[in-house]
Amino acid sequence: MQRPGTIRRTATAETDLIPRPAYEKIRRILKTLTGLSLTGYKDSCIQRRLAARVRSAGFATAEDYADFLLRNAEEARVLIKTLTIHVSKFFRNPTTFARLCADVLPELFAHCHREGNSALNIASIGCASGEEPYTLAMVIRETFAEELARLMITITGTDIDQDILQVATRAIYDQERMTDTPAAFKKRYFTSKEGYYHLHPEIRQMVNLLHHDLLRSVPAGTWDLLLCRNVLIYFDRAHQEIIIRSFADALRTGGYLVLGRTETLSSTLRGRFRTVCPIERIYQKR
Ligand SMILES: C[S@@+](CC[C@H](N)C(=O)[O-])C[C@H]1O[C@@H](n2cnc3c(N)ncnc32)[C@H](O)[C@@H]1O
C-alpha cells in the first residue's frame, strides 16, 4: 500500500502520479508565490513534470516537497522552469517563415499603405529564449528594409517565465539553436565567440520582451500578426479555445494568426478565421 503523498511510478495512471491533495496543495502554493495558476494546462503533462521535479529535488513524497516549496520562493522559479518547456530554435519550421515572407508580410505592408497606417504590431506569444521574435526581426530587416525604414514595426515577445526572458535578453545561443539558420543570416547578424552565437544589437533592439501570462489575457494592443507556436499544446482543449478566441478578439480584421505545426483551430472557431495555409497553420481573421 502506498503512503500518502508518495509519488507512484506506474506508467498507467499518469494523472495520479502525484496524489490529488498534495497536487492541489502545490498548485495553491505556486499560485500564491508566483501568480501562475496551473488551471488550463494538461493535467497529465503537469503531473509528469512535477513528479520529476519532486524526485530531482530529493524528496520522497510530494507532501514533503509541498512543505519545502512553501518555505522557498527560489524553488518556485525552478518549478516554473520545469513545468514550462522552452525548446525553440531560430527559423524553427523554416517553411513557415518562407510563407510569412512570401505572402503574409507583403500583404500586411500593403494594408498599411492602403489604410495610411504608419505602425505594424507583431507579437510572438510564448517566445521562450527569443528565437522566434528575433527570427522575424532578422527576416524583416533582410527582406523588407524599405518598409522597416518607413513604418514603425513593433515586435513583442512574451513569456510567462522570467528566467527564460533573461536568456532572451542576453541573446547568446549555442549551436543547437542555430541548426536551421541560413549561413548568410549567421554571418550577418551574429558574432561567433567560443562556440556561442551572439546576436547583434541591431536585431535585439527590434524586439521588446514582456513578462506575461497568456491565460490571463492577450498582451494589450491591436495586433496585425500573432505567432503562438508550440504553446497551446500544453493546454487542455477548453483553454485552447478560450485563448484562440482571445486572439481573434485582439487581432484587427484581416490580421494573421500563426500556430504551431501540430496545433489546430477547433470547428467552433473556424468561423472567425480564414485558413491561409493549412500546413503552416496560418489563419486570417475575418
Ligand atoms: C515550446 S516553447 C515555444 C517557443 C516558440 N514559440 C517556438 O515555437 O519555438 C513554449 C513557451 O511557452 C511558454 N508558456 C507556457 N505557458 C505560458 C503562459 N501561460 N503564458 C505565456 N507563455 C507561456 C513557456 O514558458 C515556453 O517558453
Choose one of 97, 136, 160, 257 to mutate for the ligand 1 pocket test, by most ligand atoms within 8 angstroms of C-beta.
Answer: 160
Q: Is 96 in the pocket of ligand 1 (CB under 6 A)?
A: no
| Residue 282 β-bridge partners | 258, 277
- Say which DSSP state 104 is in: I
Q: Is 231 in the pocket of ligand 1 (CB under 6 A)?
A: yes
Distance (angstroms) between ligand 1 centre and the Cα of 230 equals 7
| Mean pLDDT in order along the chain per 10 residues (286 residues) | 40 65 94 88 91 95 96 92 91 98 98 96 98 98 97 97 95 97 98 97 98 90 96 93 95 97 91 96 97
Q: Is 126 in the pocket of ligand 1 (CB under 6 A)?
A: yes
Q: Considering Cα of 257, then 105, then 156, then 229, what sign does the dihedral take?
A: positive
Distance (angstroms) between ligand 1 centre and the Cα of 129 equals 9
Q: Is 80 in the pocket of ligand 1 (CB under 6 A)?
A: no
120 neighbors 221 (Cβ within 8 angstroms) = no
Q: Measuring from atom 24 of ligand 1, which residue has the nearest CA?
A: 84
Question: Which residues does 185 contact at the CB level (< 8 Å), separation at least 6?
Answer: 90, 91, 138, 142
Question: Which residues does 62 contact at the CB level (< 8 Å), separation at least 6?
Answer: 5, 6, 7, 18, 19, 22, 23, 26, 50, 51, 54
Q: Give the amino acid at 283.
A: Y
Q: How far apart are CA 63 and CA 5, in angstroms?
A: 5
Q: How far apart are CA 234 and CA 236, in angstroms?
A: 7
State the Cα angle at 276 between 274 and 280, rounded to 5°. Answer: 125
Here the cell at position 265 is 483551430
Query: What is the β-pairing status of strands 196-199 and 251-259?
Result: unpaired
Q: Measuring from atom 7 of ligand 1, which residue has the nearest CA?
A: 88
Query: What is the β-pairing status of strands 282-285 and 119-125?
Result: unpaired
Q: Report the pLDDT value the prediction gives residue 16, as an integer from 0 to 100.
A: 64
Q: Report the pLDDT value the prediction gives residue 145, as an integer from 0 to 100.
A: 96
Residue 215 CA, closest ligand 1 atom number: 19
Q: How far apart are CA 200 and CA 192, in angstroms?
A: 11
Q: Report the pLDDT value the prediction gives residue 30, as an integer from 0 to 100.
A: 93
Here the cell at position 174 is 549555442
Q: Report the pLDDT value the prediction gives residue 12, as an integer from 0 to 100.
A: 39
Q: Residue 158's Cα: distance from chain center in Å?
A: 7
Residue 214 CA, closest ligand 1 atom number: 20
Q: Report the pLDDT value the prediction gives residue 25, as an integer from 0 to 100.
A: 96
State the Cα angle at 124 between 119 and 126, rounded to 5°. Answer: 155
